[in-house]
Amino acid sequence: MKKCEYCAKEISYFEQYCDEDCHADANKFYELREKFEHIFSIVNGICVFGIPIGIFLFSFLRTAGMIITLLSCLVLGIMLILLPFPTENMISKHKIKKSVKITRYIGIAVLVLGIAAFVFMMFF
């Protein structure tokens, strides 16, 4: 059986979504992703490179490295929670609803990692 593109419920082969609510939610997701795609990519790139740069700088400049790492993790985590845009492969495997949920969990994990790194750097 074919699955709904939004919620992954089983549907007939002639349909794409199980109901109008799923169709409307999928359209909202794609419109939001299209609207914030460039901002998401730029902030994502800066934060993903900021984390290892901050860790590297931590060995030389303790405070600056800690601040860069913490800010990168916090911004990346908050962005993934507020703008959960999974990859196309993830959407094709899990469908939109579950992919967004997984991306938000990753955002929470990055946020917790940033806070844990901050606590670790403060005491060691």
Q: Per the domain annotation, does 33 fall within a domain? A: no
- Which of 5-9, 91-95, 115-119 is predicted least confidently? 115-119
For residue 87, is it within any domain?
Answer: yes
Q: What is the residue-wise DSSP string for 54-112?
A: HHHHHTT-HHHHHHHHHHHHHHHHHHHHHS----HHHHHHHHHHHHHHHHHHHHHHHHH
Task: Tell me the residue range of the domain where 78 lies.
Answer: 61-124
71 in a structural domain: yes
| pLDDT for residue 110 is more than 80 | yes
In a domain, 32, yes or no: no
- Band (107; pLDDT cuts 50, 70, 90): very high
Residues 6+ apart with CB under 8 A from 22: 4, 5, 6, 7
Indicate the pTM of the whole model.
0.88
- pLDDT at residue 102 is higher than 90: yes
| 94 part of a folded domain | yes
pLDDT value at 124 more than 80: no
Residue with tokens 């969990």: 105
- Output the CA–CA distances (angstroms, integers) from residue 7 to 16, 61, 62, in the order listed: 11, 48, 46
Is 21 part of a structural domain of the chain? Answer: no
Banded model confidence at residue 20, pLDDT cuts 50, 70, 90: very high
Distances in Å between the alpha carbon of 109 and those of 31, 47, 115? 26, 15, 10
Q: How many domains does the chain have?
A: 1
What is the pLDDT, as a whole number, of residue 123? 81
* pLDDT more than 70, % of the chain: 99
pLDDT of residue 32: 95
On whether residue 97 sits in a domain, the answer given is: yes
The C-alpha atoms of residue 31 and residue 71 are separated, in whole angstroms, by 28
Mean pLDDT for the chain overall: 91
81 vs 110: CA distance, rounded Å: 10
pLDDT digits (tens, 9 = 90+) for 46-96: 999 998 998 899 888 888 888 898 999 999 999 999 999 999 999 999 999
Let me know if residue 100 belongs to a domain.
Answer: yes
